[in-house]
């Protein structure tokens, strides 16, 4: 008999349609439409899908941690022979944290911010082994230190009196895992446990999970959007889409013989080679190869740069209460040019100054030193922001948002504006009806399309793309990148592409500038930088991005 | 889909509508002239002729409550308009432009906030004297800081959002950004604080009139009627109930609607 | 330390501005202490002489500077009305108001915490809805109307209390304390309702947080989650709210004093305004403003103690 | 000679007293003093008052509400009795010279201050000079009575029991002013711990709360019955009323008519008069009231009986001119008064050019609810003759400064109080008087008033005062309304509560009934 046996799991939520009036419309919306899942002792099963696929909801339903209004039905939902659907609240309390535990995605918010680590870790003991531990503080502490050490925390005694915010992300997640493993559960549900962590830490957490599985024969249900992670950890994989299992099988089956298009897309995203985006990569690389004739960084010596940043230094000044000034230098002595028709990548981690530069280029931030030269007749660049929801006015309809730049610019009749708006919508592959919607009524990809339309409606020569796809699901990323490439080609624009993601940069850029702590670490054509990195920081960046993927492939 | 009635909101609207009906009708028609006295009808208990009874001058309490309600409504409305108008303006401008103006106005705001608003209003009225319009000015001023604070903090958040940056990139002027881009986004918050403000204004008006610092006699005001009724609690308790319950109905209605908006 | 200094700085600036404003206000009110003191039968010369004596003829700024200098040395002058030192006068009125305010604060704390948590297990359920309506009624009722209702029911219908029968604490401490119960209820109820609502909303919001899910995942009961996990997180905003409420409670006490005929700070303030007794008014204004600022400071410090993140 | 005048005065006093009694009983209500039952010595009572004391120093205090309480602690050379006579107090006897230019007082022997010191002539001279503003170093807080300061040339102690006052001009009416308190000359803590010679001693005072006195065992005259009296201060009569219902107060004056009705089960309701000239005072110096027709129209438009019925259950004494019947021998009861006649009022207004109505503002001190209520009734009555009146409530200090001193107003409702000198109430109508806030100007009034004040012959004096009242009536200087009824609740356990023709609460006569 499997440890966990679920057949035909359906989950529905109550939806309130707010009429802003004297009554509400209540209805039900099913988000999980009949999932089968079974898990043996000591087995690791992966649940993969993008946001909205129902993977988290399904996993939470196993512990009945969903909100009150969720309606869970299943033909069978058994854990070790116990019918989970008929458990009383008291029975649940003995089950949770003792026999079934859970690790969540965001350790910062999942830990109580105002309780010490010790308090939070020892709670499991007090709840499930009260007789042994209640009046024995020493024993309790001993056990807490033991689990913390087991979770790979090197000096657990130092952590006891600390609070979650004082730990690093990786440490927090280890604490979470220690809490979950406190009572050696038979089943551990890990809901995107590594998503909020950097690549190196991800690795360690995966190892840790493997360790527990092997040592204690703990069955693990691993939930992730990242197929490569799942592939490396799990024995079996279930691919979820829109609340349904679209494909299931061993990891080999899923990786080498994916049956579904959707699985293939996920695979591609995981490998960093987006199928739909390949045309861009090629185009970029072609451009890069052409420019290889001129080893210095300019693709075309004779061309006049559209935009030129010379020896720019940008400082932030902050006044403290006592009148002293605190100066933070965000950008130091940075120079570069942007030429017509090229895609220039600006890459670096957060805090490297890339956002500061993009703000300065648009004129939103003054340069402390240095100068910014625009070619004659060139207007200030337009910008596409990372989060389309924040960059589009939430209180206005799409039509208004697209019309606004034209109104500001002036010189258009109402009819002309409407016509231009319709054209812009068409260009970004949206429908005219979208003009009458609000931003919140659109999907993430549609929003970013609107943002692009808004940036392009005035036909700018330069567009700054500030992490334009980071907030999007992988399948959507490709579509947006493709759209951007097509528009660039059609309108002959130049892009400054700001991103932290080396994969995306590699796919779209002609040239790359690597920023490190506000300074240019390295600059060159995409091919040069990626194949012959010189600066140690660039190498590290590449390793962090690439290594993961290489390892992923190795581990399959 | 099932239909679920929102009882709180329905009751809230009903109560507001009830008082509003009284107030609006009171503007054009009252069963008796509000200030008409009658020696023979002093302190009569409720009857068909006088629904809420009569007061110590033999005036019809129902008529006075009607007119008192419209006075309260009018004053509260003006107070909120003055407070919200100036508060929104100062809050939006200081938050958006920042600088020394912001620093000075915020300091003034802090100072005003350090003093309970009722006391502040009492002090204002001491300077400019009681009366309907003076009360509006005094309470209006007292109400400014709360609106300033709400609008300011909202604008501070909004102006850092990318859509404002975007608007700047398009070349929109500051005023345009403030009015056409930011203000529509703080409308929901403003709506709630207007409702809360209105409720507070009704309560404050009643409180000030109760202390004799509001509407001047003999014109009816709910708060003033309550303070007069206090002396007749023993032999004419209905006198206190009529204006008191009217205030309660209005503020409760507003409260229910507000809590729904939250 | 820096924090404390900053706070003291704020306090001083606030007090200087607010005392100057009230000084200024006084110069605009018709009638002054000399006119008020000498009454109907005095001639202009006598009024002028008294004005000279009280220093009312000097420019406002000079008068204010003078007042500020002595106030800084802790001397708030003498009441022009009672010819008593202002500090003594205020000190005598203080117990009633402060006791009333404290009483109310205690009531607010004692009542609103349990009520605020009631029904949060099932937001939108019957208990929760009932609490919502109850707290809305509480918030809507004007304090003085509540005072009148309490007077009517407890004083007249039930005859439990002697309404208006204030006794000073020196005279009869027990009588003083028991008398203040009803006024305290009148002050506290609307604030209790606000607080209950606030706590309820905070608890409901906290219960949606991830850490509560974690706690539930550990096998905590709902009660334990509420008491061991949610409550301490709710405390932080609530403490700030309580401090902000202190100002309102003080103001409420002053209004309710009028309803129950309590000779407290409020009556002294109103009498002093009408008597143009500005040394007293100044002292009360400064007292109230500093109380409010100090309460806010205490709240900030408490907040820091409670929240490890801002330590 | 002197003795003869003294006798004359004595006779006059007795006459006044008789008339006062008549005045008190003419409504058919309970007379001034109701001593019933046998007095028992001892006991404590609580007396409710609605005005806080403005000072404990009797020379600084100006509020009538303070005087009525301090009456129990302080005495002058003479003091009024319940009939309006001035009887000897600290002085054993007094003589007024025939030309009314010198007043000679002989001190009673062994009168003790509450601090145990004996009253000396120095104390008396000091006290009189302080009241008259004749001290070298004068405390500006002391309210100098202009009647004293103008009349008195010098105060001299001729021996250790005799004090002589030399006047600037003949004045037979100075006695009421000489009831000013005698206080120790070398004591400077009067404002905090007052020391006087009265039947009660000061115990404690807590502003806004209470004023407590106890029996002065060493009193030279008839000692008080009660051991202790607590005057408890209430914000309003409404506030006091609730405690009255609970039986916590033994005596409370200033009840409203409704309150009196409700309290009649538990308390004896004593009815006296407030000794106030309550009127709708008009600013004769500015439009529209500079037109006598308008003033007369207002006199006809105000239904005074209705005011009485509305506010005090019909109680109170209507007055037709600027004096109350309390000053019986000077009161002109032959004036018929303006009868209520709306038609006539309208006609007069039309004649004055206000046929299409008139708008006025009545400024009222808002701390006096009775005057506010009166104004409200008047506003309604004026509506019937086409006058739209607006009430502007102001604080007392504002009233003093804007209306009373600044004379910037159209009409106001207040009550004027006065001591028992007939000149005190009507002197303000002189065109030169600093407190002529009505801006009343009438040459013949000025000459008649001078005649009245200087007259030594009593009949002449009476005639002159009656003439003055007639002038005020004819000129319709203001709309005179009434001397309001004073309704006092007295516990049924008590006896001896006595009304005075001036504003006092004499506790020395009150006792518990055996």
The predicted-structure confidence for D40-97, as pLDDT tens digits, reads as follows: 888 899 999 888 888 888 888 877 788 889 999 999 999 888 887 888 888 988 988 8
Task: Name which of B21, B31, B29 is nearest B69 in CA terms.
Answer: B21
DSSP summary character for residue D128: H
Q: Which residues have a Cβ under 8 Å from the Cβ of A484 and sit 6 or more positions away?
A: A280, A452, A465, A468, A495, A508
What proportion of chain D, given as a percentage, has pLDDT over 70? 93
For A133-147, A346-360, B142-156, which range has the lowest pLDDT when averaged over its residues? A346-360
* pLDDT band with cut points at 50, 70 and 90 for residue A311: confident
Average pLDDT, chain D: 84
Radius of gyration of chain C (CA): 24
Of the listed ranges A193-207, B189-203, D357-371, the one predicted with least confidence: A193-207
Rounded distance, CA A540 to CA B76, Å?
65
For residue A284, pLDDT beyond 60: no
**Mean pLDDT confidence for C296-307:** 79
Cα–Cα separations (whole angstroms), residue B83 to B77, B93, C216: 10, 15, 46
Q: Where are the beta strands (DSSP E) in chain C?
A: none
Average pLDDT for residues D157-170, to the nearest whole number? 89
Sorted by sequence, the CB contacts under 8 Å of residue A258 that are 6+ apart come out as A247, A264, A267
Residue closest to D488 by CA, chosen among D347, D315, D293, D317: D315
pLDDT in tens, B228-259: 888 787 778 888 888 999 999 999 999 888 88
Which of D208, D367, D397 comes nearest C31 by C-beta?
D397
| Joined tokens for residue D245 | 């219902």
CATH 3.10.105.10 location in chain D: 277-483
pLDDT of residue D229: 93
Please say whether the beta carbons of A184 and A176 come within 8 A. Answer: no
Whether the CA torsion B67, B70, B72, B75 is positive or negative: it is negative
Higher model confidence: residue A272 or residue A309?
Answer: A309
What's the pLDDT at B262?
65
Average pLDDT of the segment spanning D310-314: 84
D471-489 pLDDT, tens digit per residue, is 999 888 899 998 888 889 9
Which chain C residues contact residue A159 at CB under 8 A? none
Q: Where in chain D is the domain with CATH 3.90.76.10?
A: 5-196+486-513
D361: β partners? D390
Would the CA dihedral through B53, B59, B60, B63 be positive or negative?
negative
Asked whether the predicted pLDDT for residue D25 surpasses 70, the reply is: no
Q: Is the pLDDT of residue A293 over 80?
A: no
Cis peptide before D288 (omega within 30 of 0): yes
Binned at pLDDT 50, 70 and 90, residue A71 comes out as confident
Confirm or reject contact between B10 and chain A (CB < 8 A). yes
CB D143 within 8 A of CB C41: yes
Q: How many C-beta neighbours within 10 Å does residue D38 have?
A: 10
**Sheet of strand A307-319: strand arrangement:** A325-338, A307-319, A369-374
Cβ neighbours of B56 in D, within 8 Å:
256, 258
Which two structure tokens, joined as six digits, stand for A294?
């001129």
Chains A and D touch (3+ CB pairs under 8 A): no
CB nearest A112 (choices: C2, C211, C216): C211
Q: How confident is the model at residue B81 (pLDDT cuts 50, 70, 90)?
A: very high
pLDDT digits (tens, 9 = 90+) for B161-186: 888 888 887 778 888 888 888 888 88
Give the pLDDT score at D146. 78
| Of residues A370, A391, A444, the one with CA closest to residue A51 | A444
Q: Which of A95, A109, A115 sits opposite C210 (nearest CB)?
A: A109
Q: What angle do CA D53, D59, D65 make, to 5 degrees?
A: 30
Q: What domains appear along chain B, each with residue ranges and CATH number?
A: 8-21+62-261 (1.10.3720.10)
DSSP string, C155-184: IIIS--S-TT----TTT-HHHHHHHTHHHH
Pick the closest to residue D161 from D197, D103, D132, D122 (CA basis). D122
d(CA B184, CA C75): 52
Q: D195: pLDDT confidence band, cut at 50, 70 and 90?
A: very high
Maximum mean pLDDT: which of A91-95, A380-384, C172-176, D254-258: A91-95
Locate the chain C residue with the closest alpha carbon to D427.
Answer: C41
Contacting B with CB below 8 Å, chain A residues are 17, 21-27, 359, 362-364, 380-383, 385-387, 390-396, 404-405, 408-409, 454, 458
CA–CA dist B162, A389 (Å, integer): 9
Nearest beta carbon to residue B217 from set D259, D391, D394: D391
CA distance D392 to chain B (A): 7
User: CA of C260: which chain D residue's CA is closest?
Assistant: D239
Dihedral sign (CA D189, D190, D192, D198): positive
pLDDT of D12 strictly over 50: no
**CA distance linking residue C281 with residue A386, whole number of Å:** 57
Distance CA C45, CA C42 (A): 8
Return the higher-pLDDT residue of D176 and C3.
D176
Residues of B in contact with A458 (CB under 8 A): 170
pTM: 0.82
The fraction of chain D above a pLDDT of 90, given in percent, is 20
Would the pLDDT of D106 be above 70?
Answer: yes
Average pLDDT over residues D195-216: 90
- Say which range, A369-373, A429-433, B111-115, C171-175, has the weakest mean pLDDT: B111-115
Q: Per the structure block, which two tokens stand in for D227?
A: 């051991």
Tell me what pLDDT residue A553 has: 46
Distance from the Cα of B15 to chain A's closest Cα (Å) equals 14
Q: Residues A456-513: pLDDT tens digits?
A: 888 888 888 888 887 777 778 888 888 888 888 888 888 888 888 777 888 888 888 8
* Residue range B38-67, pLDDT digits in tens: 777 777 888 888 888 888 888 888 999 998
Least confident of C244-258, D151-165, D266-280: C244-258
Closest CA to B166 of A342, A337, A463, A356: A463
Residue C3 vs residue D38, higher pLDDT = D38
C144 touches C67 (CB < 8 A):
no
Q: How many angstroms separate the CA atoms of A493 and A485, rounded?
A: 10
Residues 210-249 of C with CB under 8 A from D: none
How much is the CA Rg of chain A, to the nearest whole Å? 27
Asked if residues A165 and A138 have their Cβ atoms less than 8 Å apart, the reply is no
What is the interface size between B and C, counted as CB pairs within 8 Å? 126
The residues, any chain, with a CB within 8 Å of residue D326's CB and separated by 6 or more, are D20, D23, D84, D273, D275, D483, D501
Q: Residue D265 has which token pair?
A: 């089960």
Using a CB-CB distance cutoff of 8 angstroms, which residues of chain B are in contact with residue A25?
Answer: 1-4
Mutate one of D67, D177, D209 to test the C interface: name it (highest C CB count within 10 A).
D209
More confident residue, D469 or D35: D469
Assigned CATH for D5-196+486-513: 3.90.76.10
Strands D358-365 and D411-416: parallel
Q: Which of residues 60-99 of C touch B (CB under 8 A)?
A: none
Provide the pLDDT for residue D432: 85
CATH topology of domain D277-483: Dipeptide-binding Protein; domain 3 (3.10.105)
Query: Is some CB atom of chain C closer than 8 A to the CB atom of A179?
Result: yes
Q: State yes or no: pLDDT of D511 exceeds 60.
A: yes
Q: What is the largest CA-CA distance in chain B?
A: 76
């Amino acid at each position: 008999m499997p440890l966990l046996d679920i057949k035909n799991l359906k989950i529905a939520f109550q939806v309130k349609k707010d009429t802003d009036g004297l009554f509400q419309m209540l209805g039900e919306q099913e988000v999980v439409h009949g999932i089968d899942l079974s898990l043996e002792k000591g087995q690791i099963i992966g649940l993969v899908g993008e946001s909205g696929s129902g993977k988290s909801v399904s996993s939470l339903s196993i512990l009945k941690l969903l909100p009150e209004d969720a309606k869970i039905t299943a033909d069978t939902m058994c854990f070790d022979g116990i019918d989970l659907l008929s458990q009383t609240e008291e029975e649940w309390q003995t089950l949770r944290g003792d026999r079934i535990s859970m690790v969540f995605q965001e350790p910062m918010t999942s830990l109580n911010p105002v309780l010490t680590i010790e308090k939070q870790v020892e709670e499991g003991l007090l709840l499930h082994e009260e007789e042994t531990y209640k009046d024995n503080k020493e024993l309790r502490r001993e056990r807490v230190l033991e689990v913390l050490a087991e979770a790979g925390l090197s000096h657990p005694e130092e952590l006891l009196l600390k609070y979650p915010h004082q730990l690093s992300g990786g440490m927090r997640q280890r604490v979470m895992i220690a809490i979950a493993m406190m009572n050696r559960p038979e089943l551990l549900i890990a809901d995107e446990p590594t998503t909020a962590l950097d690549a190196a830490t991800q690795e360690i957490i995966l190892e840790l999970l493997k360790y527990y599985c092997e040592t204690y024969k703990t069955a693990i249900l691993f939930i992730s959007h990242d197929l490569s992670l799942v592939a490396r950890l799990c024995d079996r994989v279930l691919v979820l889409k829109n609340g349904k299992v679209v494909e299931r099988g061993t990891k080999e089956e899923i990786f080498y013989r994916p049956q579904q298009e959707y699985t293939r897309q996920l695979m591609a995203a995981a490998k960093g080679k987006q199928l739909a985006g390949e045309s861009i990569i090629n185009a970029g690389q072609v451009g890069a190869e052409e420019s290889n004739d001129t080893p210095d960084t300019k693709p075309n010596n004779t061309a006049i740069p559209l935009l030129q940043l010379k020896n720019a230094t940008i400082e932030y000044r902050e006044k403290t209460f006592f009148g002293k000034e605190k100066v933070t230098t965000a950008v130091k002595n940075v120079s570069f040019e942007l030429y017509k028709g090229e895609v220039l990548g600006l890459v670096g981690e957060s805090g490297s100054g890339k956002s500061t530069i993009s703000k300065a280029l648009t004129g939103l931030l003054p340069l402390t030193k240095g100068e910014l030269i625009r070619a004659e007749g060139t207007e200030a660049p337009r910008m596409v922001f990372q989060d389309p929801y924040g960059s589009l006015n939430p209180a206005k309809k799409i039509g208004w948002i697209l019309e606004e730049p034209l109104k500001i610019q002036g010189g258009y009749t109402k009819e002309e504006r409407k016509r231009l708006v319709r054209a812009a919508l068409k260009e970004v592959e949206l429908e005219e009806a979208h003009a009458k919607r609000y931003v919140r009524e659109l999907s993430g990809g549609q929003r970013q399309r609107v943002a692009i339309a808004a940036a392009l409606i005035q036909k700018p020569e330069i567009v700054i793309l500030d992490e334009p796809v980071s907030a999007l699901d992988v399948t959507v990323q490709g579509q947006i990148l493709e759209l951007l490439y097509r528009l660039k080609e059609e309108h002959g624009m130049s892009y400054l592409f700001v991103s932290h993601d080396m994969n995306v940069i590699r796919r779209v850029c002609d040239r790359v500038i690597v920023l490190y702590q506000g300074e240019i670490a390295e600059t060159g054509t995409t091919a040069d930088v990626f194949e012959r990195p010189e600066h140690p920081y660039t190498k590290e960046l590449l390793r962090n991005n690439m290594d993961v993927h290489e390892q992923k492939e190795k581990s399959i | 889909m099932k239909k679920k009635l929102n009882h709180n909101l329905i009751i809230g609207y009903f109560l507001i509508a009830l008082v509003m009906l009284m107030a609006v009708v009171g503007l054009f028609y009252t069963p008796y002239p509000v200030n008409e006295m009658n020696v023979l009808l002093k302190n009569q208990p409720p009857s068909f002729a006088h629904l809420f009874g009569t007061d110590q001058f033999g005036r019809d309490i129902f008529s006075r409550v009607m007119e008192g309600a419209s006075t309260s409504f009018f004053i509260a409305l003006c107070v909120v308009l003055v407070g919200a108008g100036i508060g929104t303006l100062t809050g939006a401008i200081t938050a958006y432009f920042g600088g020394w103006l912001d620093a000075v106005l915020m300091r003034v705001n802090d100072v005003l906030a350090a003093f309970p608003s009722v006391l502040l209003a009492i002090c204002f009225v001491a300077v400019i004297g009681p009366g309907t319009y003076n009360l509006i000015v005094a309470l209006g001023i007292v109400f400014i800081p709360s609106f300033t604070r709400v609008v300011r903090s909202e604008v501070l958040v909004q102006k850092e959002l990318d859509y404002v940056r975007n608007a700047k990139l398009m070349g929109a002027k500051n005023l345009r950004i403030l009015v056409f881009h930011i203000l529509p986004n703080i409308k929901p918050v403003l709506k709630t604080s207007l409702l809360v403000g209105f409720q507070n204004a009704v309560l404050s008006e009643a409180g000030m009139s109760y202390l004799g610092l509001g509407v001047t006699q003999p014109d009816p005001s709910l708060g003033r009627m309550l303070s007069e009724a206090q002396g007749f609690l023993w032999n004419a308790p209905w006198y206190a109930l009529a204006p008191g319950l009217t205030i309660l109905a209005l503020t409760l209605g507003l409260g229910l609607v507000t809590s729904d908006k939250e | 330390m820096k924090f404390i200094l900053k706070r003291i700085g704020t306090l001083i600036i606030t007090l200087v501005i607010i005392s100057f404003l009230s000084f200024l206000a006084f110069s605009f009110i018709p009638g002054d202490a000399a006119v008020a003191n000498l009454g109907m039968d005095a001639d202009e010369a006598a009024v002028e002489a008294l004005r000279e004596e009280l220093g009312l003829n000097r420019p406002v700024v000079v008068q204010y500077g003078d007042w500020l200098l002595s106030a800084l040395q802790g001397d708030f002058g003498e009441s022009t009305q009672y010819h008593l030192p202002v500090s003594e006068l205020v000190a005598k009125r203080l117990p009633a108001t402060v006791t009333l305010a404290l009483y109310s604060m205690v009531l607010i704390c004692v009542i609103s915490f349990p009520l605020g948590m009631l029904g949060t297990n099932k937001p939108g359920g019957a208990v929760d809805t009932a609490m919502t309506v109850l707290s809305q009624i509480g918030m809507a009722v004007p304090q003085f109307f509540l005072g009148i209702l309490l007077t009517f029911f407890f004083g007249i219908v039930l005859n439990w209390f002697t309404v208006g029968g204030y006794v000073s604490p020196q005279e009869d401490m027990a009588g003083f304390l028991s008398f203040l119960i009803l006024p305290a209820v009148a002050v506290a109820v609307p604030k209790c309702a606000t607080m209950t609502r606030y706590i309820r909303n905070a608890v409901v919001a906290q219960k949606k947080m991830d850490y509560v899910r974690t706690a539930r995942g550990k096998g905590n009961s709902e009660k334990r989650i509420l008491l061991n996990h949610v409550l301490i997180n709710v405390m932080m905003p609530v403490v700030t709210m309580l401090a902000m409420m202190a100002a309102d409670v003080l103001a409420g006490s002053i209004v309710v004093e009028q309803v129950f005929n309590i000779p407290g700070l409020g009556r002294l303030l109103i009498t002093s305004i009408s008597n143009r007794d500005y040394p007293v008014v100044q002292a009360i204004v400064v007292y109230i403003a500093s109380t409010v600022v100090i309460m806010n400071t205490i709240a900030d410090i408490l907040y820091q103690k409670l929240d490890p993140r801002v330590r | 000679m002197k003795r003869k005048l003294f006798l004359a005065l004595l006779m006059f006093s007795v006459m006044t007293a008789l008339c006062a009694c008549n005045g008190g009983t003419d409504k058919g209500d309970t007379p001034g003093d109701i001593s019933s039952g046998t007095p028992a010595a001892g006991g404590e009572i609580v007396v409710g008052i609605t005005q806080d004391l403005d000072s404990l120093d009797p020379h600084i205090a100006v509020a009538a509400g303070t005087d009525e309480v301090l009456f129990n602690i302080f005495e002058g050379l003479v003091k009024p009795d319940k009939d309006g006579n001035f009887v000897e107090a600290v002085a054993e006897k007094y003589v007024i010279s025939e030309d009314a230019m010198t007043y000679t007082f002989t001190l009673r022997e062994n009168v003790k201050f509450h601090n145990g010191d004996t009253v000396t002539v120095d104390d008396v001279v000091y006290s009189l000079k302080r009241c008259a503003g004749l001290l070298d170093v004068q405390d500006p807080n002391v309210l100098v009575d202009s009647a004293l300061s103008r009349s008195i040339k010098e105060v001299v102690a001729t021996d250790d029991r005799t004090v002589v006052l030399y006047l600037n001009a003949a004045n037979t009416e100075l006695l009421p002013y000489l009831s000013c308190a005698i206080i120790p000359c070398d004591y400077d803590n009067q404002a905090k711990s007052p020391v006087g010679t009265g039947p009660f001693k000061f115990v404690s005072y807590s502003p806004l709360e209470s004023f407590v006195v106890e029996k002065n065992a060493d009193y030279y005259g008839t000692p008080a019955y009660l051991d202790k009296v607590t005057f408890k201060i209430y914000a309003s009569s409404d506030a006091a009323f609730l405690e009255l219902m609970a039986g916590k107060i033994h005596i409370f004056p200033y009840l409203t008519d409704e309150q009196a009705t409700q309290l009649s089960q538990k308390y004896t309701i004593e009815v006296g008069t407030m000794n106030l000239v309550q009127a709708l005072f008009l600013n004769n110096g500015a439009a529209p009231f500079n037109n006598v027709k308008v003033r007369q129209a207002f006199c006809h438009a105000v239904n005074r009986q209705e005011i009485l019925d509305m506010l005090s259950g019909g109680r109170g004494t209507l007055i037709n001119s600027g004096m109350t019947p309390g000053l019986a021998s000077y009161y002109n009861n032959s004036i018929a008064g303006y009868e209520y006649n709306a038609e006539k009022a309208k006609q007069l207004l039309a004649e004055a050019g206000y046929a299409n109505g008139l708008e006025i503002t009545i400024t009222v001190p808002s701390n006096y609810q009775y005057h506010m209520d009166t104004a409200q009734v008047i506003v309604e009555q004026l509506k019937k003759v086409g006058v739209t009146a607006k009430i502007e409530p102001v604080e007392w200090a504002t009233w003093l400064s804007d209306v009373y001193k600044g004379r910037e107003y159209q009409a106001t409702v207040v009550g004027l109080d006065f001591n028992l000198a007939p000149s005190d109430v009507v002197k303000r109508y002189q065109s030169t008087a600093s407190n002529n806030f009505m801006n009343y100007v009438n040459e013949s009034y000025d000459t008649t008033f001078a005649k009245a004040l200087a007259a030594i012959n009593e009949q002449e004096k009476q005639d002159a005062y009656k003439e003055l009242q007639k002038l005020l009536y004819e000129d319709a200087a203001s709309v005179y309304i009434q001397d309001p009824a004073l309704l006092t609740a007295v516990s049924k356990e008590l006896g001896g509560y006595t009304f005075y023709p001036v504003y006092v609460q004499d506790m020395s006569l009150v006792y518990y009934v055996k």
